[in-house]
Amino acid sequence: MAYVAVDLGGTRIRAARCDAAGRVQARTEQPTRPEEGVEAVIARIAGAIWAVWPAEEPVEAIGVGAPGPLDPRTGVVLTAPNLGWENVPLAERLQERFGVPCFVGNDANLAALGEWQYGAGRGHEHLVYLTISTGIGGGVITHGVLLEGAHGLGAELGHIVVEAREGPRCGCGQRGCLEALASGTAIARMAREALARGEPFPGSDRDPESITAADVAGAAARGDPVATAIMERAAFYLGVGIATFWHIFNPTLVILGGGVMKAGDWFLERIRAHARERAMTPAYITPIVRAALGEDVGLLGALAYARWRLASILPSSR
């Protein structure tokens, strides 16, 4: 059985033909170019799907991971600021073109599903997944089911508030969200703030806007005290967030993915330490591990979602 998986992002569209075991048989990638409008992007998504469509084998379903918020039950992207989309019926449009079931889900939720089915979460029925990148997204598996909430908007883990009074303003409009304190964007912002205060951060001779979280992590790994303090602050808030997730969801595993987790083992160890310090009792403490699927997490998450949704429609045959 063949499935087509699509990872739709603000800068690129990735598509793959996969089998049910998660083996990628063909793949393609192209720029999204959202400035050209909704119709142009949908046409590009369709082109990417055709590029991996099998010549003879039937396709069971198409799975799409997309930025949200979106309604996974209808496949409508409600609003996607990085695409400039409002109320786009993506699943319906693709299903009309290809004549097979199409399922659209939140990209971070689907990444959790992918890691559970094919990556670091195999064998666990209860897990929390966080992707720590430009923003912070996440997903929750409980009793072997992806938690989506009443309207498919659940598990926005990056928007729990961990510093309500004095925290920085988040992109969502609230103050002190985990995303505003520990994402790659937040880490780079803290470096710029350090420079503005006159602190001797490496790169003080360059344009502050060009400093990235990777620059800060690299400087911290080399022992720079300002960069180390910034990364320690991010680790602290990630630990606070994870302890909160332990208490709410009681998972057996926490998986951390995204570009910020390339910072090194020392960063992961600091996150673990801060989380353990805040556990209500040791019974809540579970392993915190790195994600295993790398850049394929979006594609394999979309595959896992298509299989899961298809099985719920046709339980007798799946």
Hey, what CATH class is 120-292 in?
alpha beta
Q: What is the pTM of this model?
A: 0.91
- Cα gap 153→158, rounded to integer Å: 13
Q: Which amino acid, residue 288?
A: I
pLDDT at 208: 79
Contact, 84 vs 41, CB < 8 A? Answer: no
Q: At what angle do helices 213-221 and 265-277 cross, to 10 degrees?
A: 90
- Cα gap 316→147, rounded to integer Å: 23
pLDDT at 316: 41
pLDDT at 183: 95
Backbone φ and ψ for 231, nearest 5 degrees, come out as: -65, -35
Beta strands in the chain (DSSP E): 2-8, 12-19, 24-31, 59-66, 70-71, 76-80, 85-89, 102-106, 127-132, 136-142, 145-146, 253-257, 288-290
- Cα gap 212→133, rounded to integer Å: 11
Q: C-alpha angle with apex 48: 46 to 51, nearest 5 degrees?
A: 110
Hey, what CATH class is 2-107+295-313 in?
alpha beta
pLDDT at 201: 75
pLDDT at 313: 66
Burial 83-111, CB ≥16 within 10 A → b, else e: bebeebbbbebbbebbebbbbbbbbbbbb
> Is residue 35 classed as helix, strand or coil in its secondary structure?
helix
Cα 54 to its chain centre, rounded Å, is: 28
What tokens appear for 221 in the block?
A: 């790994």
Residue ranges of the chain assigned to CATH 3.30.420.40: 2-107+295-313, 120-292
Q: Which amino acid, residue 46?
A: A
Beta bridge partners of 76: 71, 89
Per-residue pLDDT for the chain (318 aa), expressed as one digit of tens each?
899 999 999 899 999 999 999 999 999 999 999 999 999 999 999 999 999 999 888 999 999 999 878 999 999 999 888 888 999 999 999 999 999 999 999 999 999 999 999 999 999 999 999 999 988 999 999 999 999 888 888 899 999 999 988 899 888 888 999 999 999 999 999 999 998 888 877 766 677 788 899 999 999 999 999 999 999 999 999 999 999 999 999 999 999 999 999 998 999 999 999 999 999 999 999 999 999 999 999 999 999 999 999 887 654 433
What tokens appear for 161 in the block?
A: 């508030």
